[in-house]
């Protein structure tokens, strides 16, 4: 449904998005995760046809966002970061007004339908200005799905909401995701874990990782770090484990506990376990130190010298 190839955007001499490529299939909820200024909004604006790319291409449903922007707008529902809503209109008036741009034939029925979908049907005659922030966000979603788009692009849909409102909006997105392809941007890690089935991590205009939330975690968790608990003096094991191929560092954490860091992709837990037992120690526990998505995100986006990226190439 969404296909992006080498898409770039320059603001003057500043490159905000740098040759990104990705795609999203029908029925996917794709999370676009990145810190402030990463290029999320810029990418979404290009995808919705609101801003031309400097180079590269983006297609929605086979239509080029520049050459077929009218078709693209029919196919896409967009909820910008701050949804412009008209406070002096009732919810029904607002949605009817927005729906007129799209020539929706059964507009009155459709307005009732979407208000029900976002659980605002009981506020239909009330003023937009009287809505809470969470309700406004839900109205923004109603506006985005009004013309039955196949693709929904949501820019930071839960920003500024309180925890209860966040849960409501996330549930709604999951529900909407059953019928639409959804791409949402966020800087909240738990959001992609809870809502999305695939995640793209973007930093400084570059895609630094792409996977399922659990796959991403698994790739980095693997057994990069293992916590080991033994019966006996952990310090005695240090000189034995350190020379093992694939071991980067060994540290005694407590008297009988140590942490072994291994080179990425080299799971040498069996060798370590054999070595411990062979040397007469009882192995009480061996646990891969699980990285949270937050750790992964920090690893992928922090400024540091060249390091291997997830696909094994070297990132500058
Ligand atoms: N209209 C503009 N003119 C010049 N620079 C811009 C413009 N819009 C964004 N930028 C810059 O482009 C980069 C990417 O911004 P963008 O808004 O796309 O990031 P973002 O990931 O959506 O971040 P945020 O969550 O803060 O909106 C930033 O460095 C930003 O300062």
Lowest-confidence segment of 224-228, 294-298, 311-315 by average pLDDT: 311-315
Segment 198-222 mean pLDDT: 81
Q: What pLDDT score does 312 carry?
A: 36
Percent of the chain past pLDDT 90, that is, above it, reads 53
Does the pLDDT value for residue 114 go beyond 50? yes
Q: With beta carbons less than 8 A apart as the criterion, state whether 136 and 115 touch.
A: no
Percent of the chain past pLDDT 70, that is, above it, reads 89
Q: Which atom of ligand 1 is nearest to the CA of 17?
A: 14
Segment 181-186 mean pLDDT: 94
Can you tell me the distance from the alpha carbon of 3 to that of 183, in angstroms, rounded to the nearest whole number? 12
Distance of CA 39 from the midpoint of ligand 1 (Å): 6
pLDDT band at 207 (very low <50, low <70, confident <90, very high): very high
Does the pLDDT value for residue 304 go beyond 60? no
Out of 7, 32, 42, give the residue to mutate to test ligand 1, the one with the largest number of ligand atoms within 8 Å of its CB.
42
Domain 225-288 has CATH 3.40.50.1240: no
pLDDT band at 218 (very low <50, low <70, confident <90, very high): low
What's the whole-number average pLDDT of the chain? 86
Per-residue pLDDT tens digits for 156-176: 999 888 888 888 889 989 988
pLDDT band at 314 (very low <50, low <70, confident <90, very high): very low
Q: What pLDDT score does 24 carry?
A: 93
Q: What pLDDT score does 292 carry?
A: 58
Segment 47-51 mean pLDDT: 91
Q: 198: how many CB neighbours lie within 10 A of its CB?
A: 19
Domain 2-218 has CATH 3.40.109.10: no
Q: With beta carbons less than 8 A apart as the criterion, state whether 54 and 48 touch.
A: no
Can you tell me the distance from the alpha carbon of 181 to that of 289, in angstroms, rounded to the nearest whole number? 34
Distance of CA 146 from the midpoint of ligand 1 (Å): 28
pLDDT band at 53 (very low <50, low <70, confident <90, very high): very high
Lowest-confidence segment of 11-25, 108-122, 265-279 by average pLDDT: 265-279
* Spatial CA neighbour of 36 closest among 151, 159, 123: 159
Q: What pLDDT score does 306 carry?
A: 38
Nearest CA to ligand 1 atom 12: 16
Segment 11-24 mean pLDDT: 95
36 CB within 6 A, ligand 1: yes
The residues spanned by each domain of the chain are 2-218, 225-288
Does the pLDDT value for residue 31 go beyond 90? yes
Segment 294-307 mean pLDDT: 56
Q: What pLDDT score does 214 carry?
A: 78
Per-residue pLDDT tens digits for 222-265: 447 889 999 989 999 999 999 998 888 898 988 999 998 887 66
Segment 276-283 mean pLDDT: 93
Q: What pLDDT score does 179 carry?
A: 84
39 CB within 6 A, ligand 1: yes
Could you give the C-alpha distances from 145 to 73, 137, 148, 207, 313, in angstroms and in order?
12, 13, 5, 28, 40
Does the pLDDT value for residue 298 go beyond 70? no
Segment 97-101 mean pLDDT: 91
pLDDT band at 297 (very low <50, low <70, confident <90, very high): low
Nearest CA to ligand 1 atom 30: 37
Q: Which atom of ligand 1 is nearest to the CA of 35?
A: 21
Nearest CA to ligand 1 atom 7: 11
Q: What pLDDT score does 226 carry?
A: 87
Q: What pLDDT score does 52 carry?
A: 94
Nearest CA to ligand 1 atom 24: 36
Distance of CA 16 from the midpoint of ligand 1 (Å): 7
41 CB within 6 A, ligand 1: yes
Nearest CA to ligand 1 atom 29: 37
Distance of CA 44 from the midpoint of ligand 1 (Å): 11
Does the pLDDT value for residue 108 go beyond 60? yes
Q: What pLDDT score does 302 carry?
A: 60
């Amino acid at each position: 449904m969404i296909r992006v190839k080498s898409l770039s955007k320059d603001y003057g001499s500043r490159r905000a998005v740098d040759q990104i490529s990705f795609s999203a299939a029908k029925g996917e909820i794709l999370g676009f995760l990145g810190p402030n200024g990463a290029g999320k909004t810029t990418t979404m604006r290009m995808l919705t046809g609101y801003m031309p790319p400097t180079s590269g291409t983006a297609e929605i449903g086979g239509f080029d966002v520049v050459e077929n922007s009218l078709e693209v707008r029919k196919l896409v529902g967009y909820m910008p970061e701050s949804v412009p809503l008209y406070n002096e209109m009732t919810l029904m008036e607002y949605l009817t007004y927005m729906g007129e741009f799209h020539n929706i034939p059964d507009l009155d029925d459709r307005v009732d339908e979407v208000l029900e979908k976002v659980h605002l049907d009981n506020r239909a005659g009330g003023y937009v200005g009287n809505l809470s922030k969470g309700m406004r966000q839900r109205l923004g979603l109603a506006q985005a799905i009004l013309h039955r788009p196949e693709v929904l692009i949501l820019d930071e849909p839960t920003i500024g909401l309180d925890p209860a409102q966040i849960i409501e909006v996330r549930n709604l997105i999951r529900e909407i995701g059953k019928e639409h392809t959804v791409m949402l941007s966020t800087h909240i890690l738990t959001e992609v874990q809870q809502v999305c089935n695939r995640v793209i991590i973007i930093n400084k205009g570059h895609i630094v990782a792409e996977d399922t939330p659990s796959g991403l975690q698994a790739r980095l968790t693997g057994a990069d770090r293992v916590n080991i608990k033994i019966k006996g003096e952990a310090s005695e094991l240090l000189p034995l484990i350190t020379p093992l191929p694939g071991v980067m560092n060994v540290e005694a954490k407590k008297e009988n506990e140590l942490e072994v860091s291994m080179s990425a992709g080299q799971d040498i837990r069996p060798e370590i376990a054999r070595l411990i037992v062979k040397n007469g120690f009882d192995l009480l526990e061996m646990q891969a130190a699980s990285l949270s998505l937050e750790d992964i995100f920090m690893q992928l986006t922090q400024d540091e010298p060249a390091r291997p990226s997830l696909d094994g190439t070297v990132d500058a």
